[in-house]
Amino acid sequence: MARTFLNIVWLTFVWFGIPATLTGQSTGSQAGQAGPEPKLALSSQSTQGAATDGSRPVLRQRNPRYKIQSDDILELSFRFTPEFDQEVTVQPDGYVQLKGISNDVHIQGLTIPETIEALKRAYANVLNQPEISVVLRDFEKPYFVAGGQVGKPGKYDLRGETTAAQAIQIAGGFVDFAKSKQVLLFRHYNDDTVEVKALNIKDVLKKKDPREDVVLQPGDMLYVPKSALGVIDRFLPRSSLGTYFPVPI
């Protein structure tokens, strides 16, 4: 009798316990697999949305290739037809005039490999599978712009690693009423998006917070605004400032 009871218990376990356990494992496994998938899908959709609807800026490529600009000078070499070798200058509208081609070709905004492909397409009806090499002879040098309350506002070559504080010194340093605690850094992320960051260069110069002294990237612009006193100075005769300062200004 006891043996029969144990057999019944064992059969019950086999038919109901094990399938339930397997079902629970399968369900848990499916749940574990299904859980991250919607998150990945949402993340993907969010990323695509940011790239397409413009709600979020698209970050620049970490190591972008140089893109052809106006006034760049290119040297074109044709391996099998050297009579087509030439040096061209990119016009202000982005086109170049090519030897043996009636129509100008637009190459502004293209990388060197993309330019080679564009030239091959342009010469496809003139040469049979041309092999073309392109050398960038002259191009726009990396630069930064400093404006506002600096000694010499303008555009400067960016040579080597240059920090914001160094760039201010290159541009003549701060002038009277410069708001050195809130220097604005404008940085282009793409053609339509600019990041603006406030830097406390005053603390940098006092060696309080070197983290504020960021390294500039090509195309960065530094703007030094006027302090509150500088704004007031627009509406006060300079002679009246003697009331506030013990020494002549």
**pLDDT for the residue numbered 233:** 52
Q: Which of 8-17, 28-37, 38-47, 130-139 has the lowest mean pLDDT?
A: 38-47
Do 249 and 210 form a contact (C-beta atoms < 8 A)?
no
Q: Evaluate if residue 110 carries a pLDDT over 70.
A: yes
List, for residues 63-109, the tens digit of each pLDDT value: 778 899 999 999 999 999 999 999 999 999 999 999 999 999 999 99
The answer to whether the CB of 177 falls within 8 A of the CB of 189 is no
Residues above pLDDT 90, as percent of the chain = 52
- In CATH, what class is 143-233? alpha beta
Question: Which residue is associated with the tokens 């070559």?
Answer: 157
CATH class name, domain 73-138: alpha beta
d(CA 71, CA 197): 31
What does the domain layout of the chain look like in residue ranges?
73-138, 143-233
Contact, 96 vs 90, CB < 8 A?
yes
* pLDDT for position 52: 46
- Which pTM was predicted? 0.52
Helix (H, G, I), strand (E, B) or coil at 118: helix
Q: How many CB atoms lie within 10 A of CB 73?
A: 13
